[in-house]
A and B are shown apart, each in its own frame.
Chain A
């Protein structure tokens, strides 16, 4: 019979000390691991932007620009905390830092809470900021180790609807990228508006494409100057874009020569917004030299039925693959509110144009089922005539590039031009597509391809217009019926279990 274990044998003692040490080591290791994981997560993270309009996502252009930035930059964010705009700016700057890495140093200062630091910054950069204006100070290392700076004030970060006073779009990305680019470029780009040809009231209270140019200049680090091309000493030097808006008086031969000389020999850029009300044959002839035929017609809409023709409004679509803009804008509609002339590419001389290194492309085309170019636009009612009128779906905008190179790096030597059938597309109030197209087109002409396609982030405003009956039903179902049904079910479960 096997010997039974002695029941009096004492139980094996527990090594409490070693277990205690083991527990402490485990806890310390756990905390260490927690720290390491979070440190790595802080350094390397991923974001998914599911917001409306991808408001936290930088455009590919900006990302490309930041990644290829070869100078060290500093961004000092001077926004008073606690507002939606400040929060948007902080998020935006966070993204800039993420993509630029160590090349961009960001400092966030609340001017209201940190006046001393603000004074230090003012002293350091020898700058005077506008009183009570928030903004972002950008400093980029210059060639002589002196930083070049630019202060982007808060107005450049949003657009307002003047009628409601509401923010319609957040334009921070284009403001910051253009400022970074401009500080890197070293000088402000100049848009020269042709004056002395009538058609534009410079002192007027808004309402013209001039407002667009001013708005563009303010946000995209450029300035608007005027130029009188009739003056033999007119200075085309430093003219980055020559702008014709709505001119009434035609160019003289001498003026045509000067403009041609500027455009062809000085890597010029021109934005031509035609005025269909006044004949300008010399200007049209100049445009024809570059393959743009301005037709003597008006774009009209086909309206069937008894409804009379009441307006001249033309809707045009931004053509696909237009290099003037980014693909985000391709296929979107813009509106011309006044009388519009149709344009045509001079296909007859295509060979000759190609030989001169000129490429002409359609930028805007109206719907071929709705619009046609009527030559006899005074007849009532106007009727489409296949022989005399321009084809259905007329072109209302074209862009021209001379000296175009396949290699994008060599393209800086090319001359660029955008021609639109009238100037009202850029008259305020701008719809989003018109504003974005205008901005993209000018940036394209300024050879700032990095900025082409940085669309403002549209703000969406929510409002519910529901009836009182609907509101009551929501209350009854959500606050009364649903919770009560759950309580009843709970009572049922309880009673079943008790039974």
Chain B
């Protein structure tokens, strides 16, 4: 545990002492800010069944920030170590592969949470400026941030895995972006196809269609099925990352 803590603080330092982290944070804040402001404008124009929260989390700007974040924050995790040759030092040091993976993973998750905190602040700024004129549905807010966190855990795991496969950060970023996008589009495409197939298939596709999960959680409906799906997938992908890194120990 001590090793884990040391590695975690090292990873966190490398995140927060790098100016790139702040550029990413500013970029995400900008995207989320635009998503939020666009939702305010929509609700100013005409009454809608969707609340400020629903509109914000279903905005194209939200998806833009969502797809950009993961490659940016995970691409350097293992690729950089491999490129600099420090991975050999790490692998031969009295550090378990699991500790190494988890420290990097948890540090990224913490950074990811920090990236999303300002978007929560947007709602409070709005309340403050409008003097609480519009209600922000708490249930929808809880649902939205729950799914953002849960899907984040899964996508960060994919980013870790992609980064462990190559020493080139750009390749790692493209790989993770492609995998995340593929998972998302596959779900959306199958959801579309489910309209032309039987109920069983429709249920199955909605089980892993991320777009459906975001919509449902953003409306305030929290379901254990997507949560279990993302968490178990995260565990599976992290175990694959473990195998990839361990492979260096015994490969020819």
Hey, which chain B residues are within 8 Å of A33, CB to CB? Answer: 232, 236
B19 pairs with A491, CB closer than 8 A: yes
CB within 8 Å for A482 and B220 given contacts A38-B228, A466-B44, A473-B129: no
Q: Does B149 contact A (CB under 8 A)?
A: no
Find the B residue at minimum CB distance from A494. B19
Q: How far is the CA of A470 from the CA of B132 in the complex (A)?
A: 12
- Residue of A47, A484, A486, A493 with most chain B CB atoms under a 10 A cut-off: A486
Secondary structure dominating the interface of B: helix
Shortest CB-to-CB span from A488 to chain B, Å, is 9
Interface residues in B52-95 by Cβ distance below 8 A to A read 52
Q: Tell me the bound Cα distance from A106 to B19 in angstroms.
A: 55
A-B contacts, CB under 8 A, total: 181
Q: How far is the CA of A46 from the CA of B196 in the complex (A)?
A: 28
The reply to whether B232 and A37 contact each other, CB–CB distance below 8 Å, is yes
Residues in B with CB closer than 8 Å to A463 are 43-44, 46-48
| CA gap between A56 and B140 in the complex, in Å | 13
Given contacts A38-B228, A51-B139, A478-B122, contact A486 B29 (CB under 8 A): yes
Name the residue of chain B whose CB is nearest to the CB of A51: B220
The docked-state distance in angstroms from the alpha carbon of A479 to that of B51 is: 20
Q: How far is the CA of A108 from the CA of B196 in the complex (A)?
A: 10
Structural contact, B48 and A42, CB atoms closer than 8 A: no
Given the contacts A113-B196, A487-B26, A493-B19, A462 and B47 also touching, CB distance less than 8 Å: yes
Is A31 an interface position by the 8 A CB rule? yes
Q: Are B228 and A459 in contact (CB under 8 A)?
A: no
Residues of chain B lying within 8 A (CB to CB) of residue A47: 221-224
| Residues of chain A from 443 to 495 with CB closer than 8 A to chain B in the complex | 459-466, 470-471, 473-475, 477-479, 482-484, 486-487, 489-491, 493-494
- Does A19 have its Cβ within 8 Å of any Cβ on chain B? yes
Does A30 contact B239, Cβ atoms closer than 8 Å? Answer: yes
Interface string of B32-49 (1 = CB under 8 A from A): 011011001101101111
Asked if A48 contacts B23 (CB within 8 A), the reply is: no
Interface residues of A, count at CB 8 A: 61
Cβ of B1 under 8 Å from chain A: no
Give every chain A residue within 8 A of B203 (Cβ-Cβ).
Answer: 42
Contacts of B239 in A (CB 8 A): 26-27, 30
Given contacts A461-B47, A466-B130, A483-B29, contact A30 B221 (CB under 8 A): no
Q: Is the CB of B121 within 8 A of A34?
A: no
Q: Report Cα–Cα, A396/B240, bound state, in Å.
A: 71
A49 within 8 A of B: yes
- Checking B122, B207, B219, B225 against A51 with a beta-carbon cut-off of 8 angstroms, the contacting residue is B219
Total interface residues in chain B, CB < 8 Å: 69
| CB-defined contacts of A470 to chain B, threshold 8 Å | 129-130
Q: Mark B13-30, 1 if CB is under 8 A from A, else 0.
A: 000110101110111011
* Cross-interface CB contact of B243 among A26, A45, A493, cutoff 8 Å: A26
Interface assignment of A52: CB less than 8 Å from any CB of chain B: yes
Contact with A along B95-134 (1 / 0, CB 8 A): 0000000000000000000000010011001100110011
Nearest CB of B to A445, in Å: 34
Q: Does A130 contact B (CB under 8 A)?
A: no
B50's partner among A462, A473, A475, A489 (CB-CB below 8 A) is A462
Q: Taking each of B22, B52, B228, which has the highest tally of chain A beta carbons within 10 Å of its own beta carbon?
A: B22
Residues of B within 8 A of A38 (CB): 207, 228-229, 232
Q: Which residues in A have their C-beta under 8 angstroms from that of B219?
A: 51
Q: Among B25, B51, B222, B252, which residue has its beta carbon within 8 angstroms of that of A462?
A: B51
Mask: chain B, 156-183; 1 = CB below 8 Å from A; 0 = not: 0000000000000000000000000000
B36, A478: Cβ atoms under 8 Å? yes
Cβ of A41 within 8 Å of any chain B Cβ, yes or no, is: yes
Closest 5 CB pairs of A and B: A490-B22, A50-B139, A41-B228, A51-B220, A494-B19
Known interface pairs A41-B228, A56-B221, A464-B40; 19 further A-B residue pairs with C-beta atoms within 8 A, sorted by A's residue number: A23-B246, A30-B236, A33-B236, A34-B233, A38-B207, A41-B229, A50-B139, A51-B139, A52-B137, A459-B49, A462-B43, A462-B50, A464-B52, A471-B40, A482-B29, A483-B27, A486-B118, A490-B25, A493-B17
- 6 A-B contacts (beta carbon < 8 Å): A30-B239, A45-B224, A475-B37, A482-B121, A486-B25, A493-B19
